[in-house]
Amino acid sequence: MRFYYNALRDYLAERLWLRPAGFGLIAVCVVAVATGIDQVIGQPFSFDIKRETIDGLLTIMATAMLTVSTFAVSVMLSAYVAAISASTPRAFSILVADSFSKQAISTFIGAFTFSVVGLIGLNVGFIQASGRILLFAATISVFILVVGTLIYWIDHVARISTVSSTIDKVASRATDMLTRHLTHPGHGGTPVYASAMPPDGALAVLSSFTGTVQFIDVAALSGVAEEHGLTVHVAVRLGDVIGQGRPIVWLYDGPLEAVDDDAKRAVSAAIRIGQSRHRSEDAVLALKTLSEIGDRALSPGINDPGTANDILDALLQVFSDATRASEQAGTAHQHPRVLVPIMDPEQVLTAAFEQIARDGASFVEVAVHLQHTLSAVADCLPAVWTEALREQSCRALDRAKGAMTHPHDIARVEAAATLAAG
């Protein structure tokens, strides 16, 4: 269920129609109230607002907002294309979910919708003195909102296409995903190592699909386990590419003969398999997306080692913030009957650092900064991560030695590789 909730949330976060629909609904409500308010309260005010005044305001706003909306959409798309060109296509789904850009454009489109609906209601002829005052107040409120949004959006859109803005957004997503991984290593179930195997005689539930594991609904699996008195041992991890007929769950420690086809279908449905990795739950995908930005900057066509170092700084902050947040929250196991294989540190760290270590090996400034970053990450992560970090440091050092020719550069990297030496 959480996967569908997250998928719906991400779907709505990427859609522009929600706020304009809300503005249109508000406009209809305001016009409806304005039409009948005179019959309810009469004329409680000593002043009146001419119909022509409101008509002129709404006409100006409708004309201006249609132009501004068209311009804003084209500017936003251009900014997204520029940002993706400078970073990675995997960042698009995160960039397009940028809340303020959508809110601004939705506000402009919504104000246009409000103006059109208001003009229709005003020119129908049913709105009298009190209704015109209400419609005028609503129009002024929308106008103030639009002006404030436009002023702030001009400053905001200038930053969308910058690499630093993209890094901040992707790093924020990576921090959230890594915090969730550290807090719930078993997605709410009991975490076990990927090498852990079920006992002999366990019942395997096979995959009906071929694809990538996108989500593991531990709560649904726990319901099956409680109902049948079983232990559910998940055989796959997020991001695993599996084929049809591969075991995805093992069932044991209970009356296996009671497991009918409905139970097997419920278990199978709890393992969501799709075409590619899904960003709503996958910490490895978020870290890999962030690392790809630095890796792209190291390509010969761009040749920007400074951006790669910025990514290393961002990765250090991601690991630091996620560790601090997870320590404050504490590790949680809500479903003890469900065993879920964890992402081992090697897999997480490889996604974060290996691309930069490989393609930045010939850049002495990147190789040195990478070694410093790995040492700093080791200081903030639990001791169980140290060996995997040391392995990353050793591999990065070996790559740098093989790629560099000047003895001074090699000596600088060796001096920085304190984690590998320890």
Average pLDDT for runs of 10 along the chain of length 422 = 56 65 78 73 64 87 86 77 70 67 79 86 76 85 88 76 81 90 85 87 90 89 89 90 91 85 88 81 86 89 89 95 83 80 90 94 95 94 91 95 93 92 72
- In angstroms, what CA-CA distances link 16 with 25, 53, 56, 71, 313? 15, 31, 28, 15, 33
Tell me which residue of 4, 224, 2 sits closest to 234, measured CA to CA. 224
**pLDDT for the residue numbered 234:** 93
**pLDDT for the residue numbered 360:** 93
**pLDDT for the residue numbered 185:** 83
**pLDDT for the residue numbered 357:** 94
Cβ atoms 250, 198 nearer than 8 A: yes
**pLDDT for the residue numbered 388:** 93
**pLDDT for the residue numbered 43:** 59
Tell me which residue of 2, 58, 68, 1 sits closest to 30, measured CA to CA. 58
- In angstroms, what CA-CA distances link 106 with 99, 279, 326? 10, 24, 35
Cβ atoms 160, 310 nearer than 8 A: no
For 45, other C-beta atoms within 10 Å of its C-beta total 11
Which residue has tokens 């609503």? Answer: 138
**pLDDT for the residue numbered 422:** 67
Task: Give the pTM.
Answer: 0.75
CA angle 242, 248, 250 (to 5 degrees): 155
**pLDDT for the residue numbered 131:** 79
Residue type, 347: Q
- What is the rounded distance in angstroms from the CA atom of residue 396 to the CA atom of residue 73? 43
**pLDDT for the residue numbered 236:** 92
- What is the rounded distance in angstroms from the CA atom of residue 136 to the CA atom of residue 118? 10
